[in-house]
């Protein structure tokens, strides 16, 4: 049995992180939704396990950060 995640899927970690979206070669890669234990939610593109490309980070306060992400860091609004 092959345990490498490929295509669309879901995972939950014991620390409260939840992810639903695309996988490539067992990495989060493509479009998905990442829910963090502190209540923040990132919806957008990923590459090699990090936010990369267009996406939006929603905060508990109701504010959000929308734009371009590279290697997990916000780099600018579009």
SS3 66: strand
Q: Which tops the pLDDT comparison, 3 or 20?
A: 20
CA distance 59 to 13: 20
pLDDT of residue 61 exceeding 90: yes
- What local confidence, expressed as pLDDT, does residue 60 receive? 94
Q: What phi, psi does 32 have (nearest 5°)? A: -170, 180
Q: Give the pTM.
A: 0.90
Domain spans of the chain, in order of start: 19-69
Residue 24 near residue 40 (C-beta atoms within 8 A): no
pLDDT of residue 13 exceeding 80: yes
Tokens for 3, please give them: 């345990």
> pLDDT tens digits for 16-59?
999 999 999 999 999 999 999 999 999 999 999 999 999 999 99
């Amino acid at each position: 049995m092959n345990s490498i995640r490929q295509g669309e899927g879901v995972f939950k970690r014991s620390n409260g992180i939840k992810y639903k979206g695309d996988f490539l070669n067992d990495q989060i890669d493509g479009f998905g939704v990442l829910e963090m234990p502190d209540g923040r939610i990132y919806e957008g593109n990923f590459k090699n396990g990090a936010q990369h490309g267009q996406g939006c980070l929603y905060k508990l306060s109701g504010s959000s950060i929308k734009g371009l992400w590279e290697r997990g860091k916000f780099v600018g609004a579009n």
